[in-house]
Structure formats: structure tokens, C-alpha cells
Structure 1
Amino acid sequence: MLASKESDLQQVISALVSAEWLRDNLNIPNLKMIDASWFMPGSERNAKSEWMSQRIPGAVYFDFDAEIVDKSSSLPHMLPSPAQFEQAVSALGIDNEDIVVAYDSSGIFSAPRVWWMFKAMGHQSVAVLDGGFPAWISAGGEIDSELPRIPAKTQYVAELVFERVIDKDTLLAGISSASLNVIDVRPADRFAGSVPEPRAGVRSGHMPNAKNLPFGKLLVNGKFKDKSELERLITPVVSADMLNVSSCGSGVTACILSLASEITLGKPITVYDGSWSEWGSDSTLPIVSD
């Protein structure tokens, strides 16, 4: 976990912090909170409205679904360009020297997506709150209902880290040459193709030679399982000598596996941003059904 001395924090920040640590260190000057809540299409909950009514003090809302997104793409919540990311993050009052902690109202669900976005843009000190907003409440953390005061606009600088993200063409080439390892974190029945996909026009099944590790198996009660259990689950599906790629339905829960691998094995896993929303809707791409 994180060191307690402020001077050490920038260098040793963990990718995962506890609610208790955050409660005791919330007033660190360069600590910036992000509410990264997002709900699946069709949900009656509105993440931004919930943030407006209650949040961890100082938390800004990071809308990776409608605002901080590649709006030129027809695919859901695709990673924006570095220039778009710079503009949006600067407007939130965040700079490159800040320690960023993202959380969501589900526990562990969408916050890892924002962690991954910052990592993909070269930010070093970014973490996820284990257990999210429910864990914060359970730890007796303060709840704020006043909109946060965003500091004077900063100038954030982003630089895409290519090892963090992979596109469709590169992925197809890697599958064809058997030079990468795909781990699909969708539920087992969707991976097998035994149930319809929730998005219209998307085929059922999985990529050739992909492995399946449903993201829910990494979690218990909205938190990550302990390190030894995560290691037991992740080690059999990752490759020691090939590029590992995480995929899911639309690029959100794939980031849960990427984060879990980083905190457990110290091994980053590349995220396929388009995920099955892209792959399954392109009839020219190969799929397998069990």
C-alpha cells in the first residue's frame, strides 16, 4: 500500500488504495479525486446525477462515455486522442504532477477504465479505490454534496503509451501469427457464444485461441480478492513470453484484469479498446463458438 509520508507518495504510489488510507490522506495537496462511475446501457441509474448529489470531497466527474471520448468513433467510449485528453483533464484542474485516485459507485467496475486511460496517456501516479464509494461510506469517510471547486485551469500534457492499447488490425495480425495471448473477461456464456450479445448486430462467440477469465471471478463484495487468490486465477491465463491482451464487451471491464495483473504480478496487460463491440460486429473477423 502507499507510504504515509507525503514526500514519498509520488514515487511509490500503488495502483490500488484502501478506503482507510484515503480517509487518512485525503488532504494531501496534490491528491485529486475522480468519480469514474458508469452504468451499462439500459440502467435506470445516472452516474453524473449521483455524483452531483453526493461524492467523496473534491471529486470531479470523469465522463469517459460521452465527453472524454473519441466522438468520431461509432464504438462506445473509445479512447480519445492525447490532445482531447489533455484538454479535458486540464479543464478538471488536474496536472501531470497530481496523484489521481479514481473510484466508482459499484465498488470495482468502471474506475479501472479511468486508471487505464491515465496510464495509457503516460500518467504515473494513478490509483483505484478498492471497494469504491461503498467502501468509502463503510470506512466512515466524509460525504460531500457541494459541487467541487476546480482550481485554475492547468496545462496537462498527455503522451500515448502504445504498449497499453491495441487496435483491431494489430490484434488480428497477432492472432493470425500466434504472437499474442488474448484473455476475454466476459461471462463464460457470452465467451462460449451460447447466449446472444446484449448489443444489437454483434455476433456471439470469441476470438480464435482466446482464453476466458470472467472479471467477476477477480472480485468479492465489490473489492479485489486477496493477492494470492488473484495470482492463482491470473497466472494460468497469462503468457510469460507473448503480449497479453485483455478484451471484454466494450473496453471497460477489460481494464479490471489489466489492473489486477499489475497489482498482483507487476505485469501490465494491454487493453483492446474496441473489444467485442468492434470485433463481434465486423463480419470479416474470425470468431469461434463452443
Structure 2
Amino acid sequence: MNRLELPSALVDCDWLAAHLTHPDLVVLDASWHMPAAGRDGEQEWRRQRITGARFFDFDRRIKDPQSPLPHMLPDESLFSREVSALGIENRHCLVVYDSCGIFSAPRAWWMFRAMGHERVAVLDGGLPAWLAAGLPLEQGEPAPAPAGRFVARRQSTWIADAGQVETALQDEGYRVLDARSRERFSGEAPDPRPGVRPGHMPGAFCLPFGELLEQGRLLPRTELARKLAPLLAAEQRLVCSCGSGVTAAIVALAAHLAGHERVAVYDGSWAEWGGSSSLPVRLGQ
């Protein structure tokens, strides 16, 4: 069988269904929900999933266990170990989806890119689109996958920390885009995390992730480019932020699809920035 190649960082249900049994393909469910939603992505995956999908738990397992911040990117060793345990190898093409359409799957896409794996895509429309198309599902306890051997190679260009964001906010060669709602960006709405201040980073711009979506799917590439054009010049480097580094990855994926190659996610995002009294905060738009 010929080597499988992904057509893009975003694939549709027809493409995935046509290649679902290819030996080079691994499908991952990266569903995650805000704590207030009262939903458990792994439990839902056990009840119903795309045939053969494995659960990618970036909130409880594939994270930095030493960080007090939520689901921070782990080091290469932990990432390699956990991903290998899922039966994934460097040769594999990965397609990641979530149960909301497009919400948490781009976080897993970004994590793999940050760990040097380029053969990864997000399923546009996620599980809802798959269900609507009447495509194959599994239920119940899955069979364990044979262990693989995955070697992570951290790519610093995909990752930003607080110090780098401080520098970027003062540099015209960069743009910092915040994926939170306009109400949270302005400080009109409180942050849902206790002890985290409202507002935004001085010099950041607001691009709510929901404005890049329509009915759980990303807008067409031309529309994504149109949304980004007033905020991001072609030559600028992009740093994406949000509440805790999840929906920032939606903006990162959208920018990547629109042709921007220099894209990073601020992993700590507002959970770190707004929670630190030493970092500046601005209210209003």
C-alpha cells in the first residue's frame, strides 16, 4: 500500500472515511471541556467514538505534571512515552477530532507540531460531522493498542512563554492575538478561574475563536485570510493566546491554513498572565 499523505492540516469526513483502514493512519479523540460544562471527554469517547480512535488526554496525562497551570506542554520524554503508549510512531499520519466540532482538537494538533511531528491534521467538524454523515462508530471498552515508538523533538518556534510574549508585545515584527471572547478581553466579564485578573495584555488584539468557525467547522481558507488580514501582516510573526492554551490553537491552525508560517502558541496564556501580579493588564478594548 502506498505511503499515506495528508492533503492539509485540515481534512474532511470523506477523506478520513476513505483512508480509515490505512496502516499509516491513527485517529485520535482529543475532546476536552471546560470544567463548568460537567463533561468528561474520555468517558464520552468510551461510549462512542470514530472506529479505531484512541483517546489523547492532554489535560490529565500528556501534560507537564510539575506545572500549576492547566495542561501545559510536557517535556520531550513524557510526550514520547505517552504517545508511544498510544501505539503511535513517527511514521504515522494523525487525524485529531473532538466532540464539539472544532474546539480542543487543534490543541493536540499544535502539541504534535511543537514536538516535531508534521504529519498531523484536524478533522473539520469533528465527531458531530462524522455522526451527521452516518460514518462508522465504535462503542464500549476499546482494545488496547500495541505500543509504538515515537520520538519527540521539541520545536521552540511553535511555543511562546511569558517572557517572549512580553518582548513580542513591544515588537512591530510580532502580533499577539487573544482568542478569548471580547467581554473577557475587555474585562467586562470575569475570568472563570479564581485569582485570575480580568482584562488583556497591553498591545494584544482580540480575535475570538468563535469568529473563525461556522457550525463547528472552520471557515474556508479565503474567509480565514480575510478575518486575519486587518490584524496580521504577512511578514509578522504570530503569537496566539487564550484562557489556558486550548482555543489559542484554533487561531494558530486558522493562521497556518491561511498561509502564515511563523505561528506560536503562548502555552500559559491568560491563566498564567492574568494570574501573575508582575505582568501588566489592561481593561477595555
TM-score class, shorter? over 0.9
* CA positional deviation for 1:176: 4.0
CA-to-partner distance for each residue in 1:64-108, whole Å, 9 max, x for gaps?
001100010000000000110000000000000000000000000
* CA positional deviation for 1:265: 1.9
Q: Which residue of 1 aligns with 2:230?
A: 236
Q: Which residue of 2 aligns with 1:135?
A: 129
Residues 1:48 and 2:47 aligned together: no
SS of residue matched to 2:194: coil
* CA positional deviation for 1:23: 1.3
1:127 & 1:177 partners in 2: Cα distance? 31
Q: Which residue of 2 aligns with 1:271?
A: 265
1:110 & 1:24 partners in 2: Cα distance? 24
**Runs (5+) with no aligned partner, structure 2:** none
The residue correspondences of 1:118-129 to structure 2 (distance < 5 A) are 118-129=112-123
SS of residue matched to 1:9: coil
Q: Which residue of 2 aligns with 1:7?
A: 2
Q: Which residue of 1 aligns with 2:165?
A: 171
SS of residue matched to 1:149: coil
Q: Which residue of 1 aligns with 2:178?
A: 184
1:41 & 1:146 partners in 2: Cα distance? 24
2:19 & 2:236 partners in 1: Cα distance? 39
CA contact 1:30–1:99 (8 Å) conserved in 2 = yes
SS of residue matched to 1:181: strand
1:111 alignment partner AA: A
Q: Which residue of 2 aligns with 1:250?
A: 244
2:96 & 2:262 partners in 1: Cα distance? 18
Residues 1:207 and 2:209 aligned together: no
CA contact 1:121–1:160 (8 Å) conserved in 2 = yes
| Structure 1 residue corresponding to 2:92, chosen from 98, 120, 126 | 98
- The alignment's C-alpha RMSD in Å is 1.4
Residues 1:114 and 2:108 aligned together: yes
* CA positional deviation for 1:177: 4.8
| Structure 2 residue corresponding to 1:64, chosen from 46, 58, 61 | 58
Residues 1:29 and 2:23 aligned together: yes
* CA positional deviation for 1:242: 3.2
1:81 & 1:239 partners in 2: Cα distance? 32
* CA positional deviation for 1:132: 0.3
CA contact 1:13–1:125 (8 Å) conserved in 2 = no
* CA positional deviation for 1:174: 2.8
**Runs (5+) with no aligned partner, structure 1:** 1-5
Q: Which residue of 1 aligns with 2:213?
A: 219
2:14 alignment partner AA: E
1:81 alignment partner AA: D
2:255 & 2:4 partners in 1: Cα distance? 22
